[in-house]
Structure formats: C-alpha cells, structure tokens
C-alpha cells in the first residue's frame, strides 16, 4: 500500500468541521464511486498529527481519516455492513496524501449495523 496524492480541500473541510462529517458523493475517491453497495464515506480530523497502527502498518503524521461503509444484503445478518479506513497526512509543501484501505477499524470490519456516527444521508 502506498500514499497517494489527494486534493487538500477535503482535509481542510474536515479540520474546519472538527467532527465526523459525511463526505458528499462528488468528493468520494474516484476509484470507489462505482463500487456496488457503498453507503457512504465519512471523515474526521485528528486534533494534531498522530501515529496510527493499523493492519500491522505504522503511519506517522496522520491528520485525518476517511471511512468507507458498504452494505451487502446477501451476506449473513451479522456481517452485512463492511468498513474500510483511509488515513490522511499533509506534507510540508501543503500537499495531502491518503493511504488505505485498512480493515482494522475499532468498531470491526464486518458488522450487523452502521457505526453510531454514520448515517445514510450522504
């Protein structure tokens, strides 16, 4: 997995919001827009640059995160909702990069329901 360049606008909006925010569909990462079952993307800023350990990888300088939630109604009831996390960092030149998807999310990769902070209104 490698860091990929991303528009700095999303990280700026997440910082301005200061909370978990639904990402509008027109701002979803281009490679996910057409994936079936996606319910939405949610993002949030960190309070400062942090070090994150996910799926055995240590990431430094993380300033925010995006989480993709999808639903598979054909899966078993306890695993119909699936989460993937992406992390954001900003380089000294102001450019923003993202890395992911990671499956090691605190509320579980497979779930029976949406995380409490997510809604279907995106």
| Cα–Cα distance, 81 to 4 (Å, whole number) | 26
Domain housing 66: 4-110
Q: What residue has token string 């639904």?
A: 22
The answer as to whether 58 is a domain residue is: yes
The answer as to whether 119 is a domain residue is: no
31: burial class by Cβ within 10 Å (0-12, 13-18, 19+)?
exposed
The answer as to whether 59 is a domain residue is: yes
DSSP conformational letter for 109 = S
| Cα–Cα distance, 122 to 118 (Å, whole number) | 9
Q: Tell me the pTM.
A: 0.84
The answer as to whether 31 is a domain residue is: yes
Total domains present in the chain: 1
Averaged pLDDT score across all residues of the chain: 84
Mind listing the pLDDT tens digit for each residue in 53-95?
988 889 999 999 999 888 888 888 788 888 889 999 999 998 9
The answer as to whether 30 is a domain residue is: yes
Mind listing the pLDDT tens digit for each residue in 19-45?
888 888 887 877 676 677 888 889 999
Is 4:98 a contact under the CB 8 Å cutoff? yes
């Amino acid at each position: 997995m490698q860091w990929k360049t991303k528009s700095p606008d999303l990280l700026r909006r997440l910082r301005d919001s200061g909370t978990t925010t639904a990402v509008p569909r027109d701002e979803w990462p281009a490679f996910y827009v057409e994936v079936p079952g996606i319910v939405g993307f949610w993002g949030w800023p960190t309070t400062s640059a942090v070090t994150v350990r996910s799926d055995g990888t240590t990431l430094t300088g993380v300033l925010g995160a995006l989480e993709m939630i999808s639903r598979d109604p054909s899966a078993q009831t306890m695993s119909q909702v699936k989460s993937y996390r992406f992390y954001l960092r900003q380089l000294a030149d102001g450019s923003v990069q993202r890395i992911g998807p990671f499956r090691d999310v605190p509320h579980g990769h497979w779930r029976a329901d949406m995380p409490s902070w997510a809604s279907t209104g995106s």
